[in-house]
Amino acid sequence: MKHSRGMICLISSGLFALGTIANAQVDRNHKTDGKTMKLMTYNLKFASPTFEPPWDVRRDMQVDLIRKYSPDILGTQEGLKEQVDYLMDQLPEYVVIGEGRKGGDDDEHVAIFFKRDRFRLRETGSFQLSETPEVAGSGPSVNPRMVTWARLAVINRPANGESSPYPMDYRGHWENTREFYVFNTHFFNSAREHLARMNSARLIMKRINALNRFGEWTRERPVFLMGDFNARPGGDVYRTFVGDGNSDDPLLLRDSVAGGRGIDWILYRGSVDVLSYENVDYHVDGAYPSDHKPIFVEFQMLEE
């Protein structure tokens, strides 16, 4: 599948829509200090004609939810092109990357939204959860699955009154570059597809571990893996990512909530700490914009 350096697949455009839906949940739209980072994973629920409320109602609820929590990075699952495009148009502060799981705009997307004023896109790509990961749409003919990933760099702007971390002649200075990886996915969901979920987890770990730094002279890049895994904490798929709790393998990931919860996870590895975790119970008068609740985690990026 496509792999490009510095290529933005979809770029947010349009005006910031006014107004909010009347739902008095906590506003998370606070400023960050450059060392904290807010991540959200959210299965949007595809624009099903039988799901209530319908997409033309749910879409503004989702825009309102995202504005209230203001994640720096948002990974979505199940979004069809019209859904991803609508959110992109209404949320111009985000850059959006990702393609359909059959290539191009076809079928569902596992998109990554990131704030354009916080991060620079260094590299992006996708791969299929199949025996031929580089072949778009490979795997089962119905509901193939995939991963979208990005290497992002923190935009290092000095605060008011502070000097720039970069010298006047910054050639040869690399110590100010802070980068990390984000992976977003949606696993197979039927009971008979346990083997497919297991092999998907193994493939993702292989891809993540291939990015591990070679030596101590290389600055670590933290990794975040988010998505709808259609598997429960404590099971084989979960242990493939995080171990059994007794392992000291530095290549394993950690869950952002102790012991894990549900089937939507944000896992991580590297020099970051979890500041807060929330299973977001957002609704409007009892109506939910999806059959999933978003997971919202704030991380602290640590100095090496």
Indicate the helix (H) or strand (E) that contains 184.
Answer: strand 179-186
pLDDT of residue 158: 75
Chain centroid to CA 240: 19
State residue 104's pLDDT score. 94
Contact yes or no for 112/84 (Cβ under 8 A): no
Residue 100 located in a structural domain: yes
Instruction: Report residue 55 as tokens.
Output: 């997409």
162, part of any domain: no
Cα 183 to Cα 266: distance, rounded to the nearest angstrom: 10
What pLDDT does 205 receive? 98
Q: Is residue 161 part of a domain?
A: no
What whole-number distance in Å separates Cα of residue 40 and Cα of residue 134? 27
pLDDT of residue 304: 61
CATH number of residue 196's parent domain: 3.60.10.10
In the chain, which residues have pLDDT < 70? 1-34, 170, 172-176, 304
Query: Tell me, what's the pLDDT at 11?
Result: 37
Quote the radius of gyration of the chain (alpha carbons, Å): 19
> Residue 133 is part of which domain span?
7-16+30-156+176-301
Q: Which of 196, 199, 113 is nearest to 148 (CA)?
A: 113
Whether residue 123 lies inside any domain: the answer is yes
Residue 275 lies in a domain: yes
- Residues contacting residue 161 through CB under 8 Å, at least 6 positions apart: none
Q: Residue 171 domain-assigned?
A: no
Q: What is the pLDDT of residue 282?
A: 98
Those residues whose C-beta lies under 8 Å from the C-beta of residue 69, and which sit 6 or more positions away, are 28, 29, 38, 40, 280, 294, 296
Structural domains counted in the chain:
1
Q: Is 165 within a domain?
A: no
Instruction: Classify residue 259: in a domain, yes or no.
Output: yes
What pLDDT is attached to residue 174? 59
User: Residue 18: what pLDDT?
Assistant: 32
